[in-house]
Structure 1
């Protein structure tokens, strides 16, 4: 399987959301949209009821919300390709995944740096996708802690055919190492969105994977 590069949108107002979404969807057929509640993540993004998804790309919504079930109606209305919630959220995870699946939406599960894989062993099989998080919640940038690739090995040992993504600190310098470590989807934020030339930055990561 060829790794997928998903440019990330992390915006705090609708003007910036539009700008970043235009950049992301102009580069890739799949994009990653961060949404934050100010509780699980310290930052606050535009409300779900006010955002839109791109017409030219499929969208994964990374819902950094403490209580994601409160957003289910807006999520079903938006109909993204996938919704990723946190293992650390206050929700019946399998029920949430079931609601998404009933409506033709894939379900993803994200684990923070300090959350051991054993904490999700009982629920991960309800999900289509596991996100290994190595960034700062609600912000572009951060460091890619490559020691977290050990989690990918643990996940694969438990659930060999699940799609696994990485979020946090991806650059042209580490993209190949992440993919070699078992990552299927690279959610790339600041390296693209903060670049003077986002197209060139995207191409640098693409070239690194050749």
Structure 2
């Protein structure tokens, strides 16, 4: 059970300090948005390269961008330990996942709420993680979509059948009141933005979220 705070909810003027505040987390989740695939613009490769130099935890890049086939591998090459692309935007997800892995990063595929899981289940051998979005991608602070839990459960069942170790990540509205639903459905990596950065003590918030899912295991 891993906690991956999203710096989308952090103070962008003090990102080195904000990363230091989450040194007890498993990952730092960095949302890259291009104002094309989603209607928001955040940060890109130069900022990620700067974050990689100072982050006390590995960086998990979630690329909400068009043409990830071209733009995703450089994030892995720069040193991000996990790179997530959206299946809706990838032209050749198999080749893309292999290129990300070849750079030494974990390859992950993400699905928007309206994207069904079944057409992409065959990609499981090529990826290390599946991200099930529990909000519409583009903005932080949205309400958690509990109706995505059956999709999380379906991914977990596919992973069981497939074998191997593929993580299942949830992102969007994950908080102390929703994280156990996600764990029960089959998630084991939890992206939390405002639930970590929204109060004074980020480390205490991380510890609280971790305590809530401790003991939840998935075969």
Task: Give the TM-score taking structure 1 as reference length.
Answer: 0.88
Give the stretch that moved more between structures: 178-187 or 14-23: 14-23
Output the CA distance in 2 between the equivalents of 1:81 and 1:57. Answer: 10
Q: Gaps (5+ residues) in structure 1?
A: none
Match in the other structure for 1:189 = 193
Please tell me whether the aligned partners of residues 175 and 205 of structure 1 are also in contact (alpha carbons under 8 angstroms): yes
Query: What's the Cα RMSD here?
Result: 2.2
Over 3 Å counting, the alpha-carbon distance change for 1:50 and 1:197 in structure 2 is: closer
4+ residue runs of structure 1 moved beyond 6 angstroms?
none
Gaps of 5+ in 2: 215-219
Note the alpha carbon deviations across 1:135-178, whole angstroms, 9 max, x for none: 24232221222221111222123222421010011111121221
> How far off its partner does 1:81 sit?
1.1
CA contact (8 A) 1:82 1:105 kept: yes
Shifted more, 9-18 versus 94-103: the winner is 9-18
Question: Shift in Å at residue 29 of structure 1?
Answer: 3.5
Please say if 1:47 is aligned against 2:44. Answer: yes
Could you say which residue in structure 1 is the equivalent of 2:95?
A: 95
- Are the equivalent residues in 1 in contact too, given 2:63–2:72 (CA < 8 A)? no
Q: How does 1:125-136 map to 2 (within 5 A)?
A: 125-136=125-136
Aligned to 1:30: 27
Contact 2:34–2:40 (Cα < 8 Å) also in 1: yes
Q: Give the secondary structure class of the aligned counterpart of 2:60.
A: strand
Please name the residue that 1:8 is paired with: 6
Report the TM-score when normalising by structure 2.
0.84
Q: 1:6 to 1:12 in 2, by over 3 A?
A: closer
SS of the residue 2:211 aligns to: helix
Are the counterparts in 1 of residues 133 and 172 from structure 2 also a CA contact under 8 Å?
yes
1:165 and 2:177 matched: no
